[in-house]
Structure 1
Amino acid sequence: MTDVEEIVAAIKLLRDELGRVVVGVSGYAGAGKSTLAHRVLDAVDDSVRLRGDDFLDPRRSHQRSDDWDGVERHRLRTEVLEPFRAGRPAVFRPLDWSTRQLGEPTPLPQASVLVVDAVGLLHPELLPCLDLTVWIVVDLEVAQARGMARDRAAGRDHDRLWTEVWTPNDRQFEHMFAPSAQADIRYTPDDEP
């Protein structure tokens, strides 16, 4: 089992070699991607996080797809990943979930490490832009139960989306792209058996 310290050590080695590092954290919806991203940020100086939710299409992310089509991979790659890796300033338009529209252009803070956490991130279109990839090892049903509980606690009734869209999307994405096998590091959270 890999722990956070091993992920941090891998990031620091890559940063010494490359200067700038893009870390992709992925897993099933509800697996704990944001939690891990925050732990990595706390442990790695000169790092910044980019929320994958800012790159979801509000309509397509609520529809069935074989490849997590609701993740706007082209926008993520061209607005942030490619400029960051080239050492250029990156400006992106975060999704405003209240209006379901893209917000105002927002500069990505300068850093040497960019941590991106998102579903559908370990896709062939984005893998060349990621220097280190991490897959969170959590059973799909466990991730779904966690996500549903989190949404209910926040007052959002997404049960139908979880059972009819997001979990089937995760299952199909795994079948098509084997993201856990593509990952450089497989991380099992402390609370997993």
Structure 2
Amino acid sequence: MADLEDIIEAIDHLRPTVPRIVVAITGFGGAGKSTLSRALVEAVPGSVRLHGDDFLDPMRSHLRSRDWDGVERSRIRSEVVEPFRRGEPAIYRPYDWNVGALGPLTTLPEATVLIVDAIALLHPELEGCFDLTVWVDVDLETAAKQGIQRDRQAGSDHDALWDEVWVPNDREFAKTYDPIGQADLLYRAN
């Protein structure tokens, strides 16, 4: 089981041979992906975070799907990862949840390490995109409880979505794609 220092060491190990490193931080909804990603951005010089919720289709992410097709993986690849790898500006339109539509064009800040945190990243559509993959290793039940609590604290009642859509989607995705087995590192917060 990896800790924060192990992930930082793995990134540092890649620096001599990979000029622009892309790291996937993934796991079940509510597992703590964003918390880990923020800690990495603070600890890893030259890093920037891409928040996966900016690439969720608001309609499809609220529907049952065995492959979490509400995650716009093709946009992550074409608008951010590929330009980042080429050293070009990554310009994308994050989803604006307040207005219910794609927001204004946003340019990813210059960096040498891109940390992408989202559900369902370890999928064939993103094969070859990541230099390091990290699974936030929290069991589905615990992750869902954490996610529900987080949403309630933010004033959102998504309990039915968690029970009827998001947990079943996570379960099916894990069964279909084995993201835990694909990950380079398994991380569990202390």
Contact 1:23 1:131 in 2 (8 A): yes
The within-5 A match list for 1:88-107 is 88-107=88-107
Give 4+ residue runs of structure 1 displaced > 6 Å after superposition.
none
Instruction: Identify the residue that residue 24 of structure 1 maps to in structure 2.
Output: 24
Give the letter for the 1:128 counterpart.
G
Instruction: Identify the residue that residue 75 of structure 1 maps to in structure 2.
Output: 75
Give the Cα–Cα distance (whole angstroms) in 2 for the partners of residues 118 and 86 of structure 1.
22
Give the Cα–Cα distance (whole angstroms) in 2 for the partners of residues 9 and 85 of structure 1.
21
Name whichever of 177-186 and 13-22 sits farther off.
Answer: 13-22
Give the Cα–Cα distance (whole angstroms) in 2 for the partners of residues 117 and 97 of structure 1.
17
Give the letter for the 2:81 counterpart.
L
SS at match of 1:24: strand
- Counting matched residue pairs gives 190
SS at match of 2:114: strand
The within-5 A match list for 1:130-169 is 130-169=130-169
- How far apart are residue 32 of structure 1 and its match? 0.1
CA root-mean-square deviation: 0.7
SS at match of 2:99: coil
Per-residue CA distance 1:93-138 (angstroms, 9 max, x = gap): 0100011111111111000000000001111111311110000110
SS at match of 2:17: helix
Gaps of 5+ in 1: none
Give the Cα–Cα distance (whole angstroms) in 2 for the partners of residues 154 and 103 of structure 1.
21
Per-residue CA distance 1:17-46 (angstroms, 9 max, x = gap): 111100000000000000000111111001
Is 1:178 paired with 2:178? Answer: yes
- How far apart are residue 89 of structure 1 and its match? 1.1
Gaps of 5+ in 2: none
User: With structure 2 as the length reference, what TM-score do the two structures score?
Assistant: 0.98
Percentage of matched positions with identical amino acids: 58
